[in-house]
């Protein structure tokens, strides 16, 4: 999946979540280019730290991972 503008990715993820999918945000580090995942389901951020280089990236485009199965309880 190609990254989408953040607002479009959130809308698409909300649709998938309403169909029962677990949704995790993915983004590309603006410093090292590493692909990163947010560990909390159903959370979309505008800034996040890279686990590889520790840079904090501004997220304007992202993707997401869909996991089929029972929807986990939201915190």
Domain extent listing, the chain: 4-67
Q: What is the mean pLDDT of the chain?
A: 91
Structure tokens, 37: 């995942």
d(CA 39, CA 49) in angstroms, rounded, equals 12
Distances 49 to 1, 9, 21, 57, 74 between C-alpha atoms, Å = 21, 19, 25, 6, 23
d(CA 75, CA 63): 22
pLDDT of 36-49, one tens digit each? 999 999 999 999 99
- What is the band of 70 on the pLDDT scale with cuts at 50, 70, 90? low
């Amino acid at each position: 999946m190609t990254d989408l503008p953040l607002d479009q990715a959130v809308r698409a993820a909300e649709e998938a979540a309403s169909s029962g999918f677990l949704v995790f945000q993915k983004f590309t580090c603006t410093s090292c280019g590493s692909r990163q995942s947010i560990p909390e389901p159903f959370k979309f951020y505008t800034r996040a730290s890279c686990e590889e280089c520790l840079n904090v990236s501004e997220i304007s485009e992202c993707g997401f991972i869909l996991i089929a199965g029972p929807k986990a309880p939201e915190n």
